[in-house]
Amino acid sequence: MGEKRTTRIPFLVTILLSLLLSWIPLSFAEDGKVEFVPSADTYVDAHFSPLTNYGNLERLSLANSGNKMQVVWLKFNLSEHIPEGAVVDNATLKAFPTTLTETFEVAAFHCSNNSWGEYTINFRNQPTYNSTPLDTIHIPRSNEWYNWDVTQPVKDAFAEMSGGSKELSIVLKQVEPQKLFPSLVIGSREGTWSVQLYVHWIDIIPEFPSWTILPLLLATTALIVICRKRLTKHRRILGA
């Protein structure tokens, strides 16, 4: 009876440890950073031509006044260059205005609808986007880089989706109406000084769940028990 209990103890302990470990997420301490340019970018115009598409231009125009209303649309494909399971801790959208007629207060908004097309979207058919800004920045001068914090929607894209394409749509809009004919211009992906998205991750959670180590531990324990039994039997034979 004592021998049976001895052989059962490591087997039962290993099962309990395996079950406990199966609830602990495994992660690899591997951080990284990548820079994206838009996979699609354009702007829409409410006053001048609400049915016109501007996806083939080398500039992205922003404005908000009684005479001009232009909103920039950006889309990024996040499934490229970022490992599956990456834990994102920071994401920054950067733009370099080449033209600025007056001070702008530009807000970045998230749109969960990524179905819009660069060469088909216009002011009339643009998707509805979240009315709460992710970040708002003050732009007093041209020919400088300006940053928006867009960390949360990037984190959500990786938390909610596994495998396949992970896309992110961001809308840039002047917050308050201005006077006369304000204008802010940044380069599109067809031109120069394109908008850029920087994404940083702190580590990577493996695709395989931690419970996959359970069969390995059980098999190892079973092998140990068998070896101990054979060793005990061998000792008895020698002792006899």
pLDDT tens-digit profile of 69-104? 999 999 999 887 777 778 889 999 999 999 999 999
What's the pLDDT at 190?
A: 86
What's the pLDDT at 80?
A: 74
**Mean pLDDT computed over 216-228:** 65
Kindly state the percentage of the chain with pLDDT values over 70: 71
Question: With bands split at pLDDT 50, 70 and 90, how would you rate the model's confidence at 210?
Answer: very low
State yes or no: pLDDT of 184 exceeds 60: yes
What's the pLDDT at 171?
A: 98
What's the pLDDT at 117?
A: 97
Kindly state the percentage of the chain with pLDDT values over 90: 55
Query: pTM of this prediction?
Result: 0.74
In this predicted model, what pLDDT tens digit does every residue of 104-128 receive, in sequence order? 999 999 999 999 999 999 999 999 9
What's the pLDDT at 180?
A: 85
**Mean pLDDT computed over 209-216:** 53
In this predicted model, what pLDDT tens digit does every residue of 15-69 receive, in sequence order? 555 555 555 554 454 788 999 999 999 999 999 899 999 999 999 999 999 889 9
Mean pLDDT of the chain: 82
Question: What is the β-pairing status of strands 135-139 and 146-149?
Answer: unpaired
What's the pLDDT at 83?
A: 78
Question: With bands split at pLDDT 50, 70 and 90, how would you rate the model's confidence at 182?
Answer: very high
The top-level CATH class assigned to 32-204 is mainly beta
Question: With bands split at pLDDT 50, 70 and 90, how would you rate the model's confidence at 235?
Answer: low
